[in-house]
Every structure is written in structure tokens, then in C-alpha cells.
Structure 1
Amino acid sequence: MVHVMGRDADVIRELTADHREVEGLFEMIDAVPSHDPERKRLVDALAVELVRLAVAEEECVLPVVRERLPDGPALADKELHDLGNIERILAALEVRDAGADDFDRLVAALEDEVRRHERGDEEGVFVELRRNCSERDLAAMGDEVRRVMRYARSRPHLQTVDTPPEYELLSTESVRFVDGLRALFRRRRSD
């Protein structure tokens, strides 16, 4: 589920709409009984959306936060840390089925972490972006977020979470290539 607003949506409207979609997925997950395999399917769909959002934030938003906002470097580092926490929980959920003893606890922890992150974005980062960036810059960032989300990886990659870009083991292009291969093999196995 890749949310794509109109071409004129700025980055704040785009990401806020994505946050509402994520909240809708959590509501759907919460409506399904524990241990039901549908919960796992919904969590997997949520994971795809959350990882794509994280990649878009890391590539398109956080560099601007770091450069233009008051206390930007510290704020960007906190955002990266929060996104890393979300990806760690997603990685733990990826290897569990809905019947696992800790599955529901991990889903609840994920929901808490995501809601806290969204609140920080919407009440802090987005307000500061609106104050410190022109409408034109925000619109260009919105375009870039939509572009990145179309092609972003869709699985957690823990070796790069909280790691400065110069220390990443794989380039974004390499990660996208590997994700594409995984998806291809997964489709072939299910046929």
C-alpha cells in the first residue's frame, strides 16, 4: 500500500496522510483476534508501509531537518534512533507467526513506538519544517518522498539502522536490488 497524494501535496501533507493510513492498518490489526493468521498478513502489510516511510524520511526529510532546523542534528539523530527502534520490532515480527507467544506483545510495542514517532513528527518536526522551509521546498520534498516510496525497500535492514551513511554496508540501490530478487523468488515459490 503506497499512498500517493496529488502531485501538489507538500511533504507534510503527504507524510501526515501516510500516518493516517498506518493508523488505519493498526485498527484493522486490532480488530482481528489473537493467533488468527490474518493478523500476520496485516502486520506484514504494515511492515512494508512502515519501512517505505522510514526510507523516505531518512532519504528526503532528515537531511533537511539536519541542515535547516534549529537543533537539527540532534533532532535528526533522535528521529533515526526512533526509526531504528521501529525497524528492530519489525524484524522481530517478520520471523514470527500470529500464534507466537510474544506476537501480540510485539505488535503492541510497535503500535506504541509508531504512534510516539508520528506524534513527534506532527507536533514537532512538521511544525519546524513549515517554519523553516518555503512552500516550494516543501512541495519538492513531497515529490521526492513520493518518488522514493515507489522504489524503496520494503523489509527492515538492521545492519544500516542508526548507522551513519558513510558506514553503510550496502548502497540503497543494492538493497533495492536484493529486495526485488527476494520478491521475485517469493512470488515464484507461491505459484
Structure 2
Amino acid sequence: MGHGGNVIQELTADHREVDELFAQIETHTAADSRRRELADQLTIELVRHSVAEEEHLYPAVRRYVDGGDDLADKEIADHSEVERLLKDLESCEPGDAQFDILIGQLKSSVTEHVRDEEDRLFRLLAGACPPEALGELGEKVRQAKETAPTRPHPAAPDTPPLNKLLAPGTGMVDRVRDMLTGRGKQD
């Protein structure tokens, strides 16, 4: 997940990738093992995206946007809900009834969160933040996604400075686990 452009362009492209993963999951039957692979890929993308937003987007919102603290706090709360759902999804098999319930809840939560970011938060940030700062944030977000965790860690800190200190180490452990298990490999 690295697309280029400023922070808004980068994160919007991530949103479209997540939409596509939900659509792919929905095209497979409950018995299809490909659903587990797609759910794992969805988890990886959502966790990396959330960590990058928490490290760089929301501090910028707090800095540049009037009322930014409340906006950032709401978005972080949304992330916490998504992360709890992702953690529950980890233990489900695609044939379990709970798998479909969790995917539905996850899609609903993520869709609402994305709509709020794209319709409100991004517009406010674009109007308040200098274009060069938006560009720098885009690069920081791309770098953060490369070292971010790939698995949900609901108890991990989600605000600076602890999130920036712990995420790279947690991300390294997650990527080693993924490598050893083959999780997240795309054919």
C-alpha cells in the first residue's frame, strides 16, 4: 500500500483498495478458503492504514483544523472499534456464521468511517493545512505503513508518542510471523 501523492490522495487510494477487498470477499462462498486469505489481506491493509493515520494524519488534524482534537478523537475511537472486530475475525473460519457477521459489521464500520473522513475531515484538513505539509504527510504515511503492524493489537497505544515508538517493533514481529506462516502472501 503505497500510492504516491499527498496524504489525502494516499489515504483515499487506500480506502478504494479496502472497498475492493470487501467486494472480493463477498464474491466467494462460505466454504471457499480464499475468503480467509482475503480477510487476512483486509486486516493487514486496515491495520497498516490505521496506524499511519494515528501516527501522522490525526496529529496534523489536531494542529491545523479548528476543533481538530474532537475530530481526531472520534476517528481514533472508530479505529478502536474496527480493531476489535478485526481481532475477533482472526479466530473465525470462513465457514463460521460469525465470520459473515463480523465481515458485515466491519464493512459497515469502515464504510461509515471512510465516508466521514472523505466528506468532512479531508476537506477541513485540505482547507487548513499548507499544500507542502500535505505532501510531506503523504510521504510520512507511506513510510509508516511499511513498518506498521499487520495484525490487530487493540491494547496498543493509538496516540503519540507511544504509538510511534512501539508500532515499528510490533510491525517487525508481525511481519516475521506473517513470513513464517505465509499470511498475506498474494499468489
Question: Normalised by the size of structure 2, how large is the TM-score?
Answer: 0.90
In 2, distance between residues paired with 1:166 and 1:183? 26
The count of corresponding residues between Structure 1 and Structure 2 is 181
In 1, distance between residues paired with 2:13 and 2:117? 12
Match for residue 13 of structure 1 among 9, 16, 27:
9
Following superposition, the deviation at residue 5 of structure 1 comes to 2.1
The answer to whether the aligner puts 1:176 opposite 2:171 as a matched pair is yes
The AA in structure 1 aligned to 2:152 is P
Q: How does 1:9-158 map to 2 (within 5 A)?
A: 9-158=5-154
TM-aligned CA distance change 1:5 to 1:165, over 3 Å: closer
Consecutive unaligned residues in structure 1, runs of 5 or more: none
The AA in structure 1 aligned to 2:147 is Y
Deviation per CA, 1:75-132: give whole Å up to 9, x if none: 1110100001111100000111111121101000000001001001100110011000
In 1, distance between residues paired with 2:172 and 2:138? 24
In 2, distance between residues paired with 1:55 and 1:73? 17
Partner of 2:185: none
The AA in structure 2 aligned to 1:140 is E
**Stretch of structure 1 that moved more, 174-183 or 89-98:** 174-183
Deviation per CA, 1:137-173: give whole Å up to 9, x if none: 1110111111111221110011126x554677x7223
Following superposition, the deviation at residue 41 of structure 1 comes to 1.2
Identity of aligned residues (%): 38
The AA in structure 2 aligned to 1:149 is K
Q: Is the 8 A contact 1:35 1:100 kept in 2?
A: no
Following superposition, the deviation at residue 180 of structure 1 comes to 3.2
In 2, distance between residues paired with 1:102 and 1:176? 27
In 1, distance between residues paired with 2:135 and 2:90? 34
Over aligned residues, Cα RMSD in angstroms?
Answer: 1.7
Question: Normalised by the size of structure 1, how large is the TM-score?
Answer: 0.88
| Secondary structure at the counterpart of residue 156 of structure 1 | coil
Following superposition, the deviation at residue 28 of structure 1 comes to 0.7
The AA in structure 2 aligned to 1:78 is K
